[in-house]
């Protein structure tokens, strides 16, 4: 339940940043579009975000056409990493097998650059 709420709140924060933060809008304008999602490996908890300069849409589940997916071993692993989403935390999680990246690693760098403006 806690992870579900965190992912929903992330969507609210993204939409708020698009409205209120010029640096976020500018960075998203450079990217044009980024579709990404977060979920557990068994997809019991999953949420996707479709971001463009015109708006941000969120929804449950992970569609197959996403640019980037972050899959976590379980909800507890996801909460631990997402509370302090540093590059080191992601790398440590990947090395330990708790985090799996589906997609291009460059998209993860772009996403991290965007999220620092939240």
pLDDT of 50 strictly over 80: yes
> Which pLDDT score is estimated for 1?
75
Q: Write down the pLDDT at residue 85.
A: 78
pLDDT at 87 over 90: no
CATH number at residue 16: 3.30.1050.10
Tell me which residue of 113, 86, 83, 92 sits closest to 6, measured CA to CA: 83
- pLDDT mean over 97-117: 90
The verdict on pTM exceeding 0.75 is yes
Total domains in the chain come to 1
Q: Contact at 8 Å (CB) between 36 and 111?
A: yes
* Cα dihedral 65/66/71/74 (nearest 10): -70
> What pLDDT, on the 0 to 100 scale, is given for residue 118?
84
Mean pLDDT of 17-46: 95
52: Cβ contacts below 8 Å, ≥ 6 apart: 28, 32, 33, 34
By residue range, what is the domain housing residue 72?
2-115
* Average pLDDT for 14-21: 95
What integer best gives the mean pLDDT of the chain?
92
Task: State whether residue 43 is helix, strand or coil.
Answer: coil
DSSP string, 11-29: HHHHHHHHHH-HHHHHHHH
């Amino acid at each position: 339940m806690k992870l579900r709420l965190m992912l929903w709140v992330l969507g609210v924060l993204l939409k708020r940043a698009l409205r209120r933060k010029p640096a976020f809008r500018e960075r998203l304008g450079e990217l044009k579009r980024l579709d990404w999602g977060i979920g557990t490996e068994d997809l019991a908890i999953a949420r996707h975000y479709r971001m463009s300069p015109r708006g941000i849409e969120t929804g449950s589940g992970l569609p197959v056409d996403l640019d980037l997916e972050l899959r976590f071993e379980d909800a507890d692993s996801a909460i631990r990493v997402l509370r302090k989403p540093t590059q080191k935390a992601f790398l440590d999680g990947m090395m330990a097998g708790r985090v799996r990246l589906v997609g291009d690693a460059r998209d993860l760098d772009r996403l991290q650059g965007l999220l620092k403006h939240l």
